[in-house]
Amino acid sequence: MLESAEYVGLAERVGWLWHVRSVRQTCHVRAAGWVGQAREVRAAGSVGHAREAREAGQA
């Protein structure tokens, strides 16, 4: 069996690793969200530009 000090150290290490992993996942999710938003904005912008160009051409 582990002594209490060793057990506490192990628990801290495991807790820290879990914390790092959860922080990383949060960052990945946020980054994916930003990338997705940027893509949507770009797509909406290009559609808007195409419409404006078409309307300008017809005018």
pLDDT in tens, 7-31: 888 888 888 888 888 888 888 888 8
Give the dihedral sign, CA 42/40/48/54. Answer: positive
Residue 1 is predicted with a pLDDT of 61
Query: HEC states along 10-49?
Result: HHHHHHHHHHHHHHHHHHHHHHHHHHHHHHHHHHHHHHHH
CA distance 44 to 59: 22
pTM: 0.40
CA distance 55 to 38: 25
